[in-house]
Amino acid sequence: MPLHSPKIGIISQARMTSTRLPGKVLLPVAGQPLLQVHMARLRESGLPIYLAITTNATDDPLAEFAAQQQHLPCTRGDEQDVLGRYYQCAVENQLDIIVRVTSDCPLLDGQLIARGVQDYVRQEDPRLYLSNVLRRTFPRGLDFEIFSRQLLDEAFQQASLPSDREHVTPYIHQNRSGQVRFQHVTRSPDRSQYRLTVDTPDDFRLLKLLIEHHQAAALTSDELIALLDQHPELVALNAHIEQKKT
């Protein structure tokens, strides 16, 4: 499938029932919910954004948030089958290329994502999976994955393990088909030890300080990393947190 003028979209998954910090994506920071910061950062990519949430009543506040935004379509699906939600969203919105992000990463760099998308499109390869997560050199919380609708369709049809359905891309990035080509977005020096994601109260404490006292919502990924390099006391706030295993 040659990708001539493909329709590209960012799909962000969200839910209110996080086990370690319930309701985290709507926690207030600088007078607005974290999800608002997340969306503003993504809009810097220039790409359309879509929200994928569950059908659970607990996610009604997320649906209300989406309804109050300009140009934020919202897809609702099964809580455990996040892959199914992504597939449903891509079909409903006729996407050819999908950028996968998660809403607990409020400081994602839209410009970094845009550069990744430009590189992806230029190669016109529907078997390509491009990301900065498999060879991790960016702080956790700046994660993005780019893949074609073709690969998403295959994963939706073939993936059977519960972990495949819950985490969306294992079928793709583990190359179960044997036909996926990989490209890794990396940086030097490696700063993968930093956490800019929100999964625990200590994560939120750091993000709140960064946004409210260091204008982090206006910084590029390189500037964010430089800020953390200069402030080890901030890094220490959540350095002890272990990422949940997928």
Give the pLDDT confidence of 218-228 residue by residue, as tens digits: 999 999 999 99
| pLDDT grade for 245, boundaries at 50, 70 and 90 | low
Task: Return the SS3 of 48.
Answer: coil
Task: Return the SS3 of 217.
Answer: helix
Give the pLDDT confidence of 148-177 residue by residue, as tens digits: 999 999 999 999 999 999 999 999 999 999
Which pLDDT value is given to residue 1? 43
| pLDDT grade for 243, boundaries at 50, 70 and 90 | confident
Q: Do 77 and 85 meet the contact criterion of CB atoms below 8 Å apart?
A: yes
Indicate if the pLDDT at residue 3 is higher than 50.
no
Q: Do 132 and 186 meet the contact criterion of CB atoms below 8 Å apart?
A: yes
Average pLDDT taken over every residue of the chain:
96
Number of CB atoms found within 10 A of residue 120's CB: 24
Indicate if the pLDDT at residue 2 is higher than 80.
no
Give the pLDDT confidence of 198-219 residue by residue, as tens digits: 999 999 999 999 999 999 999 9
| pLDDT grade for 246, boundaries at 50, 70 and 90 | low
Give the pLDDT confidence of 47-96 residue by residue, as tens digits: 999 999 999 999 999 999 999 998 999 999 999 999 999 999 999 999 99
Extents of the domains making up the chain: 8-187
- The arrangement of secondary structure in 8-187, i.e. its CATH architecture, is Alpha-Beta Complex (3.90)
* Residues paired with residue 191 on neighbouring β-strands, in sequence order: none
Burial of 69 (0-12, 13-18, 19+ CB in 10 A): middle
Number of CB atoms found within 10 A of residue 115's CB: 13
**Token couple for 45:** 């990519």
Cα end-to-end distance, the chain, whole Å: 32
- Between 91 and 243, whose confidence is greater? 91
**Measured distance CA(97)–CA(94) in Å, rounded:** 9
